[in-house]
Amino acid sequence: MTVGKERRLKRIMQKDNKTVIVPMDHGVTIGPIQGITNMQHIINQLIAGKADAVLVHKGIAKRVDTSGTGLIVMLSAMSNLSPNINSKVQVCSVQEAIRIGADAVSVHVNVGAPEEDKMLKNLGKVADECDVYGMPLLAMMYPRGPKIIDEHDVHVVAHAARIGAELGADIIKTNYTGNIESFKTVIESCPVPVVIAGGPKCKTPKEILQTTSDSIKAGASGLSIGRNIFQAENPTLIVKALSAIVHGGASVEQALKILGE
């Protein structure tokens, strides 16, 4: 690993090699939904909660102040208005992310989708460019496609995560498999840090706190959670509560007290 990549990774991962990332690339995928209509406002709230990094598309990155947290620029995109939503295409280069001031970049791959070949080819190309420029790469590896019956099945999740590591990613984001024992299998078979995705909005804050706690017990290196943070009643407090679990080893009950519950 180059010195540049090591230095940038330290802006994303804390000394415990764990991280709390808040992705807000949803504006391209599903539009300006609740919580991300005013990007600077939500970013200020996340910084106040001491999120380790935010993840946004290049246009937003150019227009907001992320001082106080790491900046990850998303390189992949496709809207849900497309008839082929699972086919993510590259919309930003590593070089452009460097010019913006990114600390890392991210690529989205839907393993099992009809266009998996194109997405994997792009992942390999971006990984090489990241090595050349000393840029950390977060690969969002999701099992999605005609042959995928259960996107949270341990076998397909472990396979997707391993593909990302095999092709050069520095951090893998993927689905939580639902329990500690099965997710240990994912962690043990992936040679780079794994962070969990948040998925759809949970009914209660306790749900996402419990999922985070269980994933950390399984060996995860943190989380990359969007809607369950930026659509929370108090995004600053939910980030603090999640960080207490990820970085402080807090229990779910202790984290709930941060939320005043």
3-state SS string over 8-26?
HHHHHCCCCCCEEEEECCH
Structural contact between residues 79 and 85, judged by C-beta atoms closer than 8 angstroms? yes
Query: For residue 102, which of 93, 114, 89, 91 has the smallest C-alpha distance?
Result: 93
DSSP bridge pairs for 56: 73
Query: Which of the four pLDDT bands, split at 50, 70 and 90, describes residue 117?
Result: very high
Alpha-carbon torsion angle 131, 7, 90, 67, nearest 10: -170
Q: Checking phi first, is residue 195 left (phi over 0); if not, alpha (psi -120 to 50) or beta?
A: beta
Nearest to 247 by CA among 52, 42, 71, 69: 52
Query: Which letter, b or e, does each residue of 181-212 get, where b requires 16 or more Cβ atoms within 10 Å of its Cβ?
Result: ebbbebbeebebbbbbbbbeebeebeebbbbb
In the three-class reduction of DSSP (H, G, I as helix; E, B as strand; rest coil), residue 51 is classed as: coil
Cβ(22)–Cβ(53) under 8 Å?
Answer: yes
pTM across the whole model = 0.97
pLDDT for position 200: 81
CA–CA dist 170, 175 (Å, integer): 17
**Per-residue pLDDT tens digits for 128-155:** 999 999 999 999 999 999 999 999 999 9
The Cα–Cα gap between 218 and 224 comes to: 16
**How high is the mean pLDDT of the chain?**
97
Q: What is the pLDDT of residue 201?
A: 84
Residues 212-227 pLDDT 10s: 999 999 999 999 999 9
Pick the closest to residue 92 from 72, 75, 107, 109 (CA basis).
75
Polymer length in residues for the chain: 261
Whether residue 73 is predicted with pLDDT greater than 90 in this model: the reply is yes
Catalytic positions? 25, 142, 173
Mean pLDDT within 72-88: 97
Residue pair 53/81 in contact by the 8 Å Cβ criterion: no
